[in-house]
């Protein structure tokens, strides 16, 4: 049976409250999930990236300090996550027609870098709890949790994100240095939208998520591109009129040049 999956962003206009529901933080957040677990602290080399028309992606560097012993039973992963917004995904099939499911919140980007040992140290449940299992990155309305096709919708959404390069997991990029210092490098895709992100580091031990820390990152447009983007997002009618006028002007200039030739 042939089916076609389509994902569309429905955040800013249809669900403005949800689009801005993720809390902003200026401080590094630290959390231990297991009593007595080693702790993590983290900081970014640069917590703001300005985007212009020449932007082709960026490499984010996070430094962390862990109190855990340097053991093969411990593995670290770093995730770049955000911005969160609602999505809708539609499935078209030849037999059943169209079905639509809305995710109330999902990250536009989920980029993960991890140590090679992660698959042996962390269980699937631990990755889901850490919110870095791409199939479970999207939150659904409680009323849809019993939908028999929910897993198919989750997988389709993750596949669409992987194909666009916005969801990926890469083994490597996390380096243990001396004195419990950890360095992690993770690539921010060129197609990543502006907004507020979190860079999170996780420590897995004995199969479970033991500790995590996170630091905020801002991806912001600048110059004329920033003005146009804000106009399109916050003043769509004005932006539409501006775009039409610009098109008419460009067409008129082109016609005038054509007549001269």
For 38-73, the pLDDT digits (tens) are 899 999 999 999 988 778 889 999 999 999 988 888
User: Is pLDDT larger for residue 42 or for residue 92?
Assistant: 42
Neighbours of 105 (CB within 10 A): 18
pLDDT bin (cut points 50, 70, 90) of residue 33 is confident
Q: Supply the pLDDT for residue 231.
A: 56
From CA 85, how far away is CA 9, in angstroms rounded?
8
First to last CA, the chain: 56
Angle, helix 223-234 to helix 236-260, in steps of 10 degrees: 120
User: Is pLDDT larger for residue 230 or for residue 133?
Assistant: 133
Q: What is the pTM of this model?
A: 0.75
Neighbours of 254 (CB within 10 A): 10
Helix (H, G, I), strand (E, B) or coil at 228: helix
Per mean pLDDT, which range of 54-58, 74-78, 149-153 is the poorest?
54-58
CATH number of 3-220: 2.60.40.1930
**What ranges do the domains of the chain cover?**
3-220, 222-261
Q: For 182-226, what is each residue's pLDDT tens digit?
A: 999 999 999 999 999 999 999 999 899 999 999 999 999 875 554
Pairing type for strands 3-9 and 74-93 reads antiparallel
Per mean pLDDT, which range of 142-156, 161-175, 235-249 is the poorest?
235-249
């Amino acid at each position: 049976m042939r089916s076609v999956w389509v994902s569309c962003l429905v955040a800013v206009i249809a669900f403005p409250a949800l689009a801005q529901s993720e809390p902003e933080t200026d401080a590094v957040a630290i959390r231990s999930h297991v009593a007595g677990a080693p702790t993590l602290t983290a900081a970014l080399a640069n917590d703001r990236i300005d985007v212009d028309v020449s932007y082709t992606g960026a490499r984010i560097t996070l430094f962390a300090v862990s109190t855990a012993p340097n053991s093969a039973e411990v593995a670290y992963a770093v995730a770049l996550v955000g911005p969160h917004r609602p999505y809708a995904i539609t499935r078209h099939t030849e037999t059943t027609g169209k079905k639509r499911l809305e995710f109330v919140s999902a990250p536009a980007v989920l980029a993960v870098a991890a140590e090679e040992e992660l698959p042996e140290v962390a269980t699937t449940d631990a990755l889901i709890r850490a919110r870095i299992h791409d199939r479970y990155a999207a939150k659904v309305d409680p009323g849809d949790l019993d939908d028999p096709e929910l897993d198919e919708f989750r997988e389709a959404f993750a596949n669409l994100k992987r194909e666009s390069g916005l969801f990926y997991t890469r083994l490597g990029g996390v380096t243990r240095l001396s004195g419990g210092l950890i360095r992690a490098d993770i690539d921010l895709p060129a197609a990543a939208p502006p907004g507020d992100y979190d860079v999170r580091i996780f420590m897995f031990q004995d199969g479970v998520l033991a500790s995590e820390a996170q630091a905020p990152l801002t991806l912001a447009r600048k110059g004329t591109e920033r003005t146009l983007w804000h106009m399109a997002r916050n003043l769509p009618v004005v932006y539409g009129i501006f775009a039409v006028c610009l098109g008419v002007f460009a067409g008129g200039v082109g016609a005038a040049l054509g007549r001269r030739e």
